[in-house]
Amino acid sequence: MDTASTSPIFSQAQKITDAIICLRDAGHHVAAVMLTYAAIDQMSWLSIPGNLSCGKDFKAWVKKYILTHGNLDCSEDDLWAARNGMLHMGTAESKNHTDGNAKNKIYYTVGKAACTSNSSKDVVFLNVETLIAAYLAGVLFFMEDLRSDRDQLSNALAKIGKTLTVHGL
């Protein structure tokens, strides 16, 4: 299958990525991270049959398209917990940490800032740029899979037609 077949999906990912970059460039790093997690949510929803997505789907997409190809020092459980804390409360912690479902809390760095000393055994530092780049790479690997799987592509195209950006919002 050609690249044109995935064009509506790539266009959706590109619109969200443009918004992420605008937020990042304006210094709104927390909002950029929040939108990155929401974008991963949308991609994971496009990757499954049916209309309801859950944490299991987010984690599967992250594991398949981000972690197996990237250099993030965290697990899909850590990213799910970070997503929940960030989107629901604006914090690095979520219920997943207190329940023991996530090993590490994710704290974020920006630009060239780096953690030079971390005595906490349950904290991982993740650069905002690295997270955004890992998401973008994940989208490209997802596009490759869609081009090689007609059924998955058909499912994703049917779903993308329901999104508000396709309807001009």
**Which pTM value belongs to this model?**
0.89
**Percent of the chain residues topping a pLDDT of 90:** 60
pLDDT in tens, 99-155: 877 888 888 889 887 766 666 778 888 899 999 999 999 999 999 999 999 999 999
Instruction: Mean pLDDT check: name the lowest of 48-52, 83-87, 121-125, 130-134.
Output: 121-125
Residue that wins the pLDDT comparison between 81 and 70? 81
- Distance in angstroms (rounded) separating the CA atoms of residues 24 and 130: 12
Residue 168's pLDDT is 65
User: What local confidence, expressed as pLDDT, does residue 87 receive?
Assistant: 92
Among 12-16, 28-32, 35-39, 101-105, the minimum mean pLDDT is found in 101-105
pLDDT of residue 3: 59
Distance CA 12, CA 85 (A): 25
Residue 163 φ/ψ region, left for φ over 0, alpha for ψ in the -120 to 50 degree band, beta for the rest: beta
The pLDDT, as a whole number, for residue 15 is 92
| pLDDT score, position 32 | 97
Q: Which residue has the higher pLDDT, 90 or 136?
A: 136
pLDDT at residue 5 is higher than 90? no
In this predicted structure, the answer to whether residue 59 has a pLDDT above a threshold of 70 is yes
Average pLDDT score over the chain:
88
Q: Which two tokens stand for residue 54?
A: 């859950």
Q: Give dist(CA 130, CA 76) in Å, integer.
A: 15
Half-sphere exposure of 161 (CA within 13 A, CB side): 6
Domain edges within the chain: 3-160
